[in-house]
A = this chain, B = another copy of it.
Amino acid sequence: MPKPCIFSGISRRGLIGALTLLPALSESLLPSRAQGAASGDPLPSWNGGAAKRSITNFVDRVTREGSADFVPAAARIATFDNDGTLWVEHPVYAQMAFALDRVKALAPLHPEWKDKQPFKAVLEGDMKTLAASGEHGMAELVMATHAGMTTEEFEKIVRDWFVTARHPRFKRPYIELSYQPMIELLAYLRANGFKTYIVSGGGIEFMRPISERVYGVPPEQVIGSSIKTRFEMRDGRPELLRLPEVNFINDKGGKPVGINEFIGRRPIAAFGNSDGDLEMLQWTTLAGGVSLGLIVHHTDAVREYAYDRDTSFGRLDKALDAAAINKWTVVDMKDDWNRVFAFQ
């Protein structure tokens, strides 16, 4: 029986019809989280089970010169979903927390929001009414908080938020809530000649300011959902203005589309955790040739969260069935990871 969920009316698609970009955070504000392990084992936070073996076996096969499965370095493309695959997505996506915080921060400039849904619900903490506003309500929140400024201005807003915001359960900055085993995996793949990409339903300009710091992934290797922008010369200065209009939703069938548009090569490895990643895994693994598909299964309510088929954030249902059929690796977070976060 589905677990009752306050946000059951809100899909990722509805949440994220907007979002952004540009360079990385200033070195002094946030610690780097992208380093690999210094020990001999490049994946020390992974227990030595079938999941870990499937990864190291795959990497051995595609990197060993003379192997029948050898893949030249230029074609070693690996794509990673972000929310729930590389960092925490419960109780709500980080970007949703950002949008709600922005509504509160902007409320003094918008006295009309006190009487206007879904803003009223946000300001009063009325999550039930907010959830009832559905995708349309969420789109309104995103457009009100993610558009109407230049790309540079939005980048600064995002950067500042990541410095001050805290996760409600772990009481830490969101960038500390990336999964240590996945950070190690990213570094391990790069050490083996892979180019690692983030391919997220989340906003491209919401992730880019932190992707290098947190994951060692530069902004040009981040693919995500986006709103439209318009070029303008303003007082002799070139600007891109963020418009309240969806450009692209990089989720579900949109993921192969985004991968094809941004990269122009088919990945040989893809990593996800939800039904939003199903098509990316199909695109990566079902066209012939050696490949790796992997799904992070959230099974650890003690150290993180446990959920799959019955959740509004990161529902894993069809993709879990497909994993069995297609022999994708399913990571049991509780059993396969000896550590979830670096701080644990």
A residues at B contact (CB < 8 Å): 21-23, 74-75, 151, 195, 204-205, 208, 218-220, 222, 226, 228-231, 233, 236-238, 240, 247, 253-257, 260-266, 279, 282-283, 286-287
Q: Which residue of B lies closest to A220 (CB)?
A: B263
Q: Check A264–B22 contact: CB distance below 8 A.
A: yes
Taking A231-B283, A286-B237 as contacts, is the C-beta distance between A21 and B260 under 8 angstroms? yes
Question: What copy number does this chain have within its complex?
Answer: 2
Q: Which residue of B lies closest to A285 (CB)?
A: B238
Contact A261 B204 (CB under 8 A): yes
A23 touches B75 (CB 8 A): yes
Among B236, B260, B262, contact of A229 (Cβ-Cβ < 8 Å): B260
Distance to closest chain B CB from A91 (angstroms): 29
Which of A205, A229, A230, A231: most chain B Cβ within 10 A?
A231
Contact of A220 among B222, B233, B265 (CB under 8 A): B265
Complex interface: chain B residues within 8 A of A205 (CB)? 264
Nearest chain B CB to A30's CB is how many angstroms away?
A: 17
State in angstroms the CA–CA spacing of A325 and B257 once bound together: 41
Instruction: Select A208's contact among B231, B253, B264, B266, beta carbons within 8 Å.
Output: B264
Q: Report whether A238 and B21 are in contact in the complex, using a CB–CB cutoff of 8 Å.
A: no
Residues on the B chain within 8 Å of A218, using CB: 74
- Determine the distance from Cα of A261 to Cα of B22 in the docked complex, in whole angstroms: 9
